A and B are shown apart, each in its own frame.
Chain A
């Protein structure tokens, strides 16, 4: 336990991370950066899980397990997403979300 740093400070950090992620997700046009933003959001959630577990229910382990699951899923998701992105780039030479619209109409 680090002195002077309580649950509140950690939550502030995770909130800042979360909204940075949201901001990035809204504004970036590049698929890779969007993916990175999603990672930020997921990780902010992970921090919350771990922090709550640590400060509120130190005897339980569910928060840790949950964040491990999230990390695993995020990895899998990143693998799938990057595969799609690479394939997209091979086919239409761009990973700009606004230009990837051939499924529309």
Chain B
């Protein structure tokens, strides 16, 4: 049975109109209207997405035992040549539909939440306009039917992120963070672009349908056309992965994400935790057959980068004091999990458990991380500070925030029956099948995750009571409703309802059953519990142990606290080396050498003319003298020659 999915074009288009309206007229109308327009459109988009998901999974369902890839809409956008065509299209398959649901859900919650959080801000309309722009671009990205279309929306989400990080544009740190985020991702996108160019050259197509067909001719490209020991396809995929790593803030492009926390907290929840940063994971998942079949080396790069990032970020997260930064590093770490799962996955139903697990973790992580960020926003709203040293004992003042935050924390720590447990368990299973080294790395990371999250939780909600200037109070309903909704999702998206995630998403579109592997799950629960008890020991009651430990560790602690000095290294490279050794000299060279040469030509002309201009005295008699002497000389000359 085929369905007409053409209406799905409305999902992004509505948001685009909302953006255009708000950016052009929002400023002059009441801020409420701007907020309502954006919120209404995203809610409509959410409803449409749920409807699409229902239709796709339950009405169309399986065709010959697997899900179909449906092109719901397609139009030619640009011809590069006869064969290389950029389409604007809508591709519906299980992962794009899952992403539609995730993006519209989280975005709706953030829209509602922002009514309370951004209340009274004079850029209210602008804020909602940018949110709409972001939602539009993100939805356009997930439904892309063409890798170039994805690149287009990829850049657009980048710019929405720039605009929203720099939302408080009068704050220099926000402007710097926005620039940093944009430029770092842009640099990574250069890799993506070159990767696309390579792929377009090698395969002659930009269409996902052609590129990811596991039996298609493209898959054979992996063996041919080598460069430096790896096939061109491997290079192309590694370059594309660089783009994905930039957007998903994988090591070594991770530096922009913590700074991006300068943006308003709802933005951090939406863009820098739940949706945009998973675009890199989504990109790899989208091209997964290509990675796995045509370029296993590139897939190993994905695994290594993902695995390393997750451990690296978790270590840094332990020492951070700013609660949003802890969450940011935790996001990095979780994204690393997703990448590692994709890197470890095989292709097929059961073998592709890593793929399913990665997408599942993407889903659950979006829910609980958005919850944690929005919770953090609620805390910051009440305390007016980002630092956990200014907080403590908040459980009495903010009960709803407290409970929902606890649910989020348990979910990320991987305690059953909360969502994170199930998805993380599947990732560990996939890693266990593929590589024992990375399996143990991720098990350790799981313990660290539980530790730093509970460190955060205890520090904020337990610990010692601070003296607050204003007594903190629970946030308004517009802020607590999204918290409660997401807390609900953080519970149910794991075990109870969605345990058959494999029934929806698998690497080859064939559904299968997922089982809990209690041997692996048991170990991860055990590790998580160790982490939690350690955190409880150190931070539940005020104690000096943690400070003593920090002092004892000395330089290690300091290096970790300073994020291993990566920011400083990048700053050194950009400001000292690129600015001073390339940009400044080339500006100087241009003004003084190239232009100097032109000026020198002019000067020479001037000089020569100056030295002979004395001849042109303006005195008629001088001219006459030269004329007559010339005439006489000529006359004598001719006489001399003629008489010979």
Asked if B619 is an interface residue, CB under 8 A from chain A, the answer is yes
Q: Which residues of A contact B619 (CB under 8 A)?
A: 97-98
Q: Which residues of B contact A22 (CB under 8 A)?
A: 628
Question: How far, in Å, is A24 (CB) from chain B's closest CB?
Answer: 10
Asked if B606 is an interface residue, CB under 8 A from chain A, the answer is no
Q: Which residue, B621, B625, B628, has most C-beta atoms of chain A within 10 A? A: B621
Question: How far, in Å, is B618 (CB) from chain A's closest CB?
Answer: 5
Q: Which residues of A contact B628 (CB under 8 A)?
A: 22, 26
A-B contact count (CB 8 A): 15
On whether the beta carbons of A26 and B625 are closer than 8 Å, the reply is yes
Assembly CA distance A30 to B620 (angstroms): 12
Q: Which residues of B contact A98 (CB under 8 A)?
A: 619
Assembly CA distance A26 to B628 (angstroms): 10
On whether the beta carbons of B625 and A97 are closer than 8 Å, the reply is no
Q: Which residues of A contact B625 (CB under 8 A)?
A: 26
Q: What is the number of residues of chain A that contact chain B, defined by CB distance less than 8 Å?
A: 9
Question: How far, in Å, is B621 (CB) from chain A's closest CB?
Answer: 6
Residues 68-105 of A at the B interface (beta carbon under 8 Å): 97-98, 101, 103-104
On whether the beta carbons of A25 and B618 are closer than 8 Å, the reply is no
Residues 608-641 of B at the A interface (beta carbon under 8 Å): 618-621, 624-625, 628
Q: Which residues of B contact A103 (CB under 8 A)?
A: 618
Assembly CA distance A101 to B619 (angstroms): 8
Q: Which residues of A contact B621 (CB under 8 A)?
A: 25-26, 34, 97
Give the nearest-CB partner of B618 in chain A: A104
Q: Which residues of B contact A34 (CB under 8 A)?
A: 621
Assembly CA distance A22 to B624 (angstroms): 9
Assembly CA distance A98 to B625 (angstroms): 15
Question: Mask for A1-41, Cβ within 8 A of B = 1, else 0?
Answer: 00000000000000000000010011000000010000000
Question: How far, in Å, is B141 (CB) from chain A's closest CB?
Answer: 70
Residues 56-70 of A at the B interface (beta carbon under 8 Å): none
Give the nearest-CB partner of B616 in chain A: A104
Q: What is the number of residues of chain B that contact chain A, defined by CB distance less than 8 Å?
A: 7
Question: How far, in Å, is A21 (CB) from chain B's closest CB?
Answer: 11
Q: Which residue, B618, B624, B628, has most C-beta atoms of chain A within 10 A? A: B618
Question: How far, in Å, is B192 (CB) from chain A's closest CB?
Answer: 65
Q: Is the interface of A mostly helix, strand, loop or mixed?
A: loop
Question: How far, in Å, is A53 (CB) from chain B's closest CB?
Answer: 23
On whether the beta carbons of B618 and A101 are closer than 8 Å, the reply is yes
Assembly CA distance A98 to B619 (angstroms): 7
Give the nearest-CB partner of A22 in chain B: B628
On whether the beta carbons of B620 and A97 are closer than 8 Å, the reply is yes
Give the nearest-CB partner of B628 in chain A: A22
Give the nearest-CB partner of A19 in chain B: B628
Q: Which residues of B contact A25 (CB under 8 A)?
A: 621, 624
Q: Which residues of B contact A97 (CB under 8 A)?
A: 619-621
Give the nearest-CB partner of A29 in chain B: B621
Q: Which residues of A contact B620 (CB under 8 A)?
A: 97
Assembly CA distance A25 to B619 (angstroms): 12
Assembly CA distance A34 to B624 (angstroms): 12
Q: Which residues of B contact A104 (CB under 8 A)?
A: 618
Give the nearest-CB partner of B620 in chain A: A97
Assembly CA distance A26 to B626 (angstroms): 10
Give the nearest-CB partner of A104 in chain B: B618
Give the nearest-CB partner of A25 in chain B: B624
Q: Which residues of A contact B618 (CB under 8 A)?
A: 101, 103-104
Assembly CA distance A98 to B617 (angstroms): 10
Give the nearest-CB partner of A103 in chain B: B618
Question: How far, in Å, is A15 (CB) from chain B's closest CB?
Answer: 13
Residues 495-522 of B at the A interface (beta carbon under 8 Å): none
Residues 565-624 of B at the A interface (beta carbon under 8 Å): 618-621, 624
Assembly CA distance A60 to B621 (angstroms): 37
Question: How far, in Å, is A91 (CB) from chain B's closest CB?
Answer: 18
Q: Which residues of A contact B624 (CB under 8 A)?
A: 25-26
Assembly CA distance A22 to B625 (angstroms): 9
Give the nearest-CB partner of B617 in chain A: A104
Give the nearest-CB partner of A28 in chain B: B621
Assembly CA distance A101 to B617 (angstroms): 10
Assembly CA distance A25 to B628 (angstroms): 11
Assembly CA distance A97 to B620 (angstroms): 8
Assembly CA distance A98 to B620 (angstroms): 9
Residues 356-389 of B at the A interface (beta carbon under 8 Å): none
Question: How far, in Å, is A29 (CB) from chain B's closest CB?
Answer: 9
Give the nearest-CB partner of B624 in chain A: A25
Give the nearest-CB partner of A98 in chain B: B619
Assembly CA distance A88 to B620 (angstroms): 16
Assembly CA distance A34 to B625 (angstroms): 13
Assembly CA distance A34 to B620 (angstroms): 11
Q: Which 10 A-B pairs have the closest CB atoms?
A: A104-B618, A26-B621, A26-B625, A25-B624, A22-B628, A101-B618, A26-B624, A98-B619, A97-B621, A97-B619
**Interface on B for A, CB 8 Å cutoff?**
618-621, 624-625, 628
15 pairs from A and B in contact (CB 8 Å cutoff):
A22-B628, A25-B621, A25-B624, A26-B621, A26-B624, A26-B625, A26-B628, A34-B621, A97-B619, A97-B620, A97-B621, A98-B619, A101-B618, A103-B618, A104-B618
Known: A25-B624, A26-B624, A104-B618. 12 other contacts (CB 8 A): A22-B628, A25-B621, A26-B621, A26-B625, A26-B628, A34-B621, A97-B619, A97-B620, A97-B621, A98-B619, A101-B618, A103-B618
